[in-house]
Chains A and B, each alone.
Chain A
Amino acid sequence: MMELVCPAGTPAALRAAVDAGAHTVYCGFADETNARNFPGLNFSREEMAQGIAYAHARGAKVLIAINTFPRAGDQALWHRAVSDAAGLDADAVILADPGLIAHAAQTHPHLRLHLSVQAAAANPDAINFHARTFGIRRVVLPRVLSVEEITAINREIDIETEVFVFGGLCVMAEGRCSLSSYATGLSPNMNGVCSPASHVAYADTGGNHEARLGEFLIHRTPKGMPVPYPTLCKGCFTSPGDGSSQTGHIFEDPVSLDATRLIPALQKAGVTALKIEGRQRSRAYVAQVVRAFRAAVEAADQGAPMPEGLLARLTEGQAATTGAYAKTWR
Chain B
Amino acid sequence: MDLTIGPIAFFWSAEQVRAFYQRLASTPVQRVVIGEWVCSKRLPFWQHEIPAAVEALQAAGKEVALSTLTLITLKRERRQTAGLFASDLPVEIADLGALQHLPEGAPFWVGPTVNVYNEGTLEWLAAKGARRICLPPELPLASVVQLARAGRQAGVAVEVWGHGRAPLAISGRCYHARLHDRAKDNCQFVCAEDPDGRLVETLEGQPFLTVNGVQTLSHAHMTAAPHAAALREAGISGLRLSPQQDNFDDIINIYAQILENGLPAPDALSDLRRILPGTVFAQGFLDAQPGATPCP
Contact residues of A with B, CB < 8 Å?
A: 69-75, 96-100, 102-103, 119-129, 132, 142-145, 149, 152, 171-173, 175-179, 181-185, 187, 189-190, 214-218, 220, 233, 235-241, 244, 246-247, 250-252, 324, 327-330
Contacts and interface: CB of A to CB of B under 8 A. Distances in A.
Interface stretch (B20-28, B56-64, B92-100, B239-247): B92-100
B137 A178 contact: yes
Interface in B279-296: 284-285, 288-292
Contacts of A73: 118-119, 142-143, 146
Interface stretch (B197-205, B254-262, B267-275): B197-205
B118 A75 contact: yes
Nearest to A250: B200
B292 A125 contact: no
A175 B125 CA distance: 18
B113 interface: yes
Contacts of A173: 71, 169-172
16 contacts: A70-B118, A72-B139, A75-B119, A99-B118, A122-B72, A123-B77, A144-B171, A144-B172, A172-B171, A178-B291, A179-B168, A183-B290, A185-B289, A215-B206, A215-B290, A238-B202
Contacts of A246: 179
Given A72-B143, A125-B97, A173-B171, A239 B201 contact: yes
B124 A99 contact: yes
Contacts of B253: none
Given A173-B71, A181-B291, A327-B185, A216 B202 contact: yes
B171 A171 contact: yes
B138 A330 contact: no
Contacts of B96: 98, 119-121, 126, 129
B127 to A, nearest CB: 9
B232 interface: no
Q: Mostly helix, strand, loop or mixed at chain B's interface?
A: mixed
A233 B208 CA distance: 12
B124 A185 contact: no
Nearest to A219: B203
Contacts, number: 227
Contacts of B98: 125
B29 interface: no
B67 interface: no
B30 interface: no
B46 interface: no
Nearest to B204: A217
Contacts of B142: 72-73
A179 B170 CA distance: 10
Given A125-B98, A126-B97, A182-B290, A69 B169 contact: no
B119 A176 contact: no
A238 B208 CA distance: 10
Nearest to A184: B290
Contacts of A145: 73, 172
Nearest to B198: A239
A149 to B, nearest CB: 7
B77 to A, nearest CB: 8
Given A129-B97, A330-B185, A217 B202 contact: yes
> Which of B147, B172, B290 has the most C-beta atoms of chain A within 10 angstroms of its own C-beta?
B172
Given A129-B99, A324-B172, A182 B291 contact: yes
Contacts of B209: 179, 182, 237
Nearest to A124: B78
Contact of A121 (B81, B97, B175, B289): B97
Contacts of B74: 123
B289 A149 contact: no
B208 A216 contact: yes
Contact of B201 (A103, A171, A172, A238): A238
Contacts of B97: 121-123, 125-127, 129
B201 A72 contact: no
Nearest to B285: A181
Given A126-B95, A250-B179, A189 B120 contact: no
Contacts of A241: 179, 198
B179 A244 contact: yes
B4 interface: no
Contacts of A103: 120
B118 A216 contact: no
Contacts of A100: 120-121
B171 A250 contact: no
Given A123-B73, A241-B198, A330-B184, A185 B172 contact: no
Contacts of A127: 97
A32 to B, nearest CB: 12
Contacts of A190: 117, 138
